[in-house]
Amino acid sequence: MTIGAAAKAVGQWLADLKPRAAVVLGSGLAALAEKVDQRRALPYRDIPGFPIPTVAGHGGELVAGHLEGVPVLLQSGRFHLYEGHAPDIAALPIRVFADLGIETIVLTNAAGGLKPTMRPPALMLIADHLNFMFRNPLLGPVAPGEQRFPDMSASYDPGLRQLARDVALAGGIPLDEGAYAGLLGPSYETPAEIRMLQRLGADAVGMSTVPETIAARARGLRVLGISTITNLAAGISPTPLSHHEVVAAGKAVGERLERLVRGVLRGL
Ligand code: HPA
C-alpha cells in the first residue's frame, strides 16, 4: 500500500524521465545530488510513507536529472534502523525504485575500515555483506513482485563490480574491495567487536546498506555498493570516532566517488 502510494507520487513527479539507475547517497556524500543536470528535487514530505531524516549530513529529498547524459534518480538521505525505523522503511525507497522500473541501484555509504592497510579516506567496492543487524526487510508476507527466499550468493553484481574496477583503473582511482558488515548502531563498535568482525571476514563496518541490498535482490535488481572508508574502525584508529570526522572524510573523497559513479553510469 505505502509502496504503491509512494511510487505513484514519485512516478508523477518524474513524468517522462525514465531513470536508468538510482544512486543512494551516504553520509557526507550528498554533494553529488547538487551536480546533476536538469536537476529537480522532490522533498520526502511530499512522498507518502517517507519519514524525514534526522541525521546531520543526510538530506531528505529525491533528486532527478542527468549525470553524464544518463537519466538518474538520487536518494539524498536514507532511513537507518538506528533512527528507530523498521527494516522495511529502510528498504522502502528501493522498492519504490523497483516499482518505477529502475533496474540498477548504486548504494554508497560511509564505513569504518577493518584492514590496517586501508588509508582513509578511501573507497571500497562492496563484494559481499554480513548482516549483523539481524533484521530483514523481507520478514512477513511476501511483498508483490518479490521472492520468498532470494539468492544472496552474488548480491553485489559481478558485472557492475567489474565495470567499477575498470573505471577506477582507467581514472587512477584507488579502489579497495571487500565485505561490508552492517550493524544496527548508533553507537560505534568497541575494539573487541571490531576484532570479532575481522575474524569473521569483514573488511568494513557501517550502519546501512544491508536492508536495501536484501530488498533489491528480492526484486531482482542489480546492486553496486561503494563504501567510503572514512576512518579506521575502533581500536585500529588511534583517535576516538566521531560523526564529524565521518562527514568530513566523506566530503574529502567525494570527488573520487563522483568520478567513479559517473564512469559507472557511462558504462551502463
Ligand atoms: N563504524 C560504523 N559505522 C561507520 C563507521 C564506523 O567506524 N564509520 C562510518 N560509519
Q: Rounded to whole angstroms, how far apart are CA atoms 235 and 208?
A: 21
Which atom in ligand 1 lies closest to the alpha carbon of residue 232?
A: 7
Ligand 1 center to 89 CA (angstroms) = 21
Shortest-distance Cα residue to atom 3 of ligand 1 = 206
Contact predicate 249/121, CB 8 Å = yes
- Cβ neighbours for 196, distance < 8 A, ≥ 6 positions apart: none
Q: Of 181, 207, 216, 233, which one is the catalytic site residue?
A: 207
Residue 263 reports pLDDT greater than 90: yes
How confident is the model over 47-66, as pLDDT tens digits? 999 998 776 655 699 999 99
Ligand 1 center to 90 CA (angstroms) = 18
CA angle 154, 107, 165 (to 5 degrees): 65
CA angle 253, 183, 167 (to 5 degrees): 35
How confident is the model over 93-144, as pLDDT tens digits? 999 999 999 999 999 999 999 999 998 999 999 999 999 999 999 999 999 9
Q: Of 68, 146, 196, 243, which one is the catalytic site residue?
A: 243
Shortest-distance Cα residue to atom 2 of ligand 1 = 206
Residue 180 reports pLDDT greater than 60: yes
What pLDDT is attached to residue 161?
98
Q: Of 31, 82, 177, 196, which one is the catalytic site residue?
A: 82
What pLDDT is attached to residue 241?
87
How confident is the model over 128-137, as pLDDT tens digits? 999 999 999 9
Based on the residue annotation, tell me whether 61 is a catalytic residue of this protein.
no
Question: What are φ and ψ of residue 10, in 5° steps?
Answer: -70, -40
Query: What residue spans define the domains of the chain?
Result: 2-267
Handedness of CA 3, 143, 180, 126 (dihedral sign): negative
Shortest-distance Cα residue to atom 10 of ligand 1 = 111
Helix-helix angle 210-218:92-99, to 10 degrees: 30
What pLDDT is attached to residue 246?
81
Element (H, E) at 247: helix 243-252
- For domain 2-267, give the CATH superfamily: Nucleoside phosphorylase domain (3.40.50.1580)
